[in-house]
């Protein structure tokens, strides 16, 4: 078996080591004898979505999101077909916002791909910066990460990725974080997300294999002792505490 991962625009959208998620996907495939390759796309490259099994869209500053947004129209229809055909996507922070209809900032509206009916508005006064812990019904372990966003996202009637245990999540009010639509996960969790949350990584790999090979797939178990320790350390550090988003000015 083989999976091909498409990494979209790492030259612009790669905050806080989002690239580590690619390494994690590759390794957890290879450790099981599943071949994995990554194709990296820059902003002017043509993308053949039919050759991809997992797409990663990372986070970026408002400035970088604006640059990406100016080119998104060219890939919108192909990307939409891929998503509607159950293509697997993991989109982080700025990438999550770009899946939606728009991100309204004080400097203007950044048009999104409109692949999922959600909208983001820049919050007034402060950014949401902190560690974050969730419970997601996609996995049994808690999901842990780090968030840093000015945008507040309204996912409307869509299903969230998780319920916030500690941290702010989509808008610091709803108590929910991220979005799940078909085989797409959009989330504010940087960190990188997948090494600290191996079950989320395996969820993506399993969905991609099942879509490609059109049969149920049971992934071989790996020794996740270290990953589980890292995850539990963060979970135990923050469970039961109250998040205090920091009032600070930052560009991203």
Residues marked active site are found at 93, 190
8 A C-beta contact, residue 130 and residue 238: no
In the complex, what is the shortest distance from the CB of residue 110 to ligand GLN, in angstroms, rounded to a whole number? 9
Considering only the stretches 40-48, 57-65, 203-211, 240-248, report the one whose residues sit in contact with ligand GLN under the rule CB under 6 A.
57-65
Q: How far apart are CA 143 and CA 136, in angstroms?
A: 7
| Cβ atoms 40, 7 nearer than 8 A | yes
Chosen residue from 8, 29, 57, 62 binding ligand GLN by CB under 6 A: 62
Nearest residue to ligand GLN, by Cβ distance, number only:
59
**Which CB atom, from 23 or from 61, has the smaller least distance to ligand GLN?**
61
Give the binding-site size for ligand GLN (rule: CB under 6 A): 13
Residue 151 binds ligand GLN (CB under 6 A): yes
Q: Pattern of binders to ligand GLN over 233-252, x per CB under 6 A?
A: -------------------x
Measured CA to CA, the distance from residue 131 to residue 54 in angstroms comes to 26
DSSP string, 161-182: SEEEEES-TTTSSSSEE-EEET
Residue range at the interface with ligand GLN (CB under 6 A); choices 1-9, 44-52, 56-64, 238-246: 56-64
Q: Which is nearer to ligand GLN, 196 or 207 (CB)?
A: 196
- Interaction residues for ligand GLN, span 157-196 (CB under 6 A): none
The count of other CB atoms within 10 Å of the CB of residue 50 is: 10
x-or-dash string of contact with ligand GLN, 78-117, rule CB under 6 A: ---------------xx-----------------------
Q: Of the candidates 154, 48, 57, which has an alpha carbon nearest to the alpha carbon of residue 98?
A: 57
Look at residues 190, 96, 91 and name the one whose alpha carbon lies nearest to residue 147. Answer: 190
Residues 196, 28 contacting (CB under 8 angstroms): no
Q: Which is nearer to ligand GLN, 13 or 36 (CB)?
A: 13
Instruction: Tell me the three-class secondary structure of 54-120, residue by residue.
Output: EEEECCCCHHHHHHHHHHHHHHHHHHHHHHHCCCEEEEECHHHHHHCCEEEECCEEEECCCCCCCEE
Query: To which residue do tokens 């149920």 refer?
Result: 216
Lay out the site mask for ligand GLN across 63-82 (x = CB under 6 A, - = otherwise): --x-----------------
Give me the residues that bind ligand GLN (CB under 6 A), please: 15, 59-62, 65, 93-94, 148-151, 252
């Amino acid at each position: 078996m083989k999976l091909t991962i498409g990494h979209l625009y790492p030259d612009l959208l790669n905050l806080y080591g989002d690239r580590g998620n690619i390494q994690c996907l590759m390794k957890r495939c290879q450790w099981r004898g599943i071949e994995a390759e990554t194709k990296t796309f820059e902003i002017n490259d043509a993308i053949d979505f039919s050759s991809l099994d997992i797409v990663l869209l990372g986070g970026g500053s408002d400035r970088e999101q604006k640059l990406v947004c100016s080119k998104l129209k060219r890939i919108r229809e192909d990307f939409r077909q891929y998503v509607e055909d159950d293509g697997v996507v993991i989109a982080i922070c700025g990438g999550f916002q770009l899946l939606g209809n728009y991100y309204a900032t004080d400097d203007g509206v950044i048009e999104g791909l409109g692949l999922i009916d959600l909208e983001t508005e820049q919050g007034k006064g402060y950014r949401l910066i902190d560690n974050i812990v969730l419970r997601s019904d996609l996995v049994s372990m808690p999901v842990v990460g780090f968030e840093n966003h000015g945008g507040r996202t309204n996912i409307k009637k869509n299903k969230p990725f998780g319920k916030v245990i500690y941290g702010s999540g989509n808008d610091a009010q709803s108590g929910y974080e991220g979005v799940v639509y078909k085989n797409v996960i959009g989330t504010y969790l940087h960190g990188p997300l997948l090494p600290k949350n191996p079950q989320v990584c395996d969820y993506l790999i399993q969905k991609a294999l099942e879509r490609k090979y059109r049969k149920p797939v049971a992934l071989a178990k790996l020794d996740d002792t270290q990953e589980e320790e890292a995850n539990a350390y963060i979970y135990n550090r923050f469970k039961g505490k109250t998040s205090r988003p920091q009032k600070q000015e930052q560009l991203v």
